[in-house]
Amino acid sequence: MTDAKTRIDETVKAHDVVLYMKGTKEMPQCGFSSRVAGVLNYMGVDFADVNVLADEEIRQGIKDYSDWPTIPQLYVKGEFVGGCDIITEMTLSGELDTLFSENGVTFDKDAAEKIREANA
């Protein structure tokens, strides 16, 4: 398991934003992964995607790494942010905008606002 932990650690530290998900950002393979990737893509966030379905060691390893039982999992600047429900709430409250701004992550503020308007 150390190998998976090392690979995960290197990945979350090498990229500003990383999404561990089922499938890829171009082709998500579950609704929850699709929702989070869709938000990030719509907001124009440059993020690395890691398909946990392609690697069983990473699929279990990411749950152990974060002590979080579900996928997707979003990391910003090496820190675990949350899964689908948390990211959805943060998007709608504007907290995700703040997190990105505070960490120097480029995103489309107008797109973020459109998501909130559509869900008001």
Binding residues for [2Fe-2S] cluster: 30
Q: Which residues are annotated as part of the binding site?
A: 30
**CA geometry: angle 69, 7, 57, nearest 5 deg:** 50
Neighbours of 93 (CB within 10 A): 11
Amino acid in position 118: A
Does the N-terminal peptide bond of residue 28 adopt cis geometry, omega within 30 degrees of 0? Answer: no
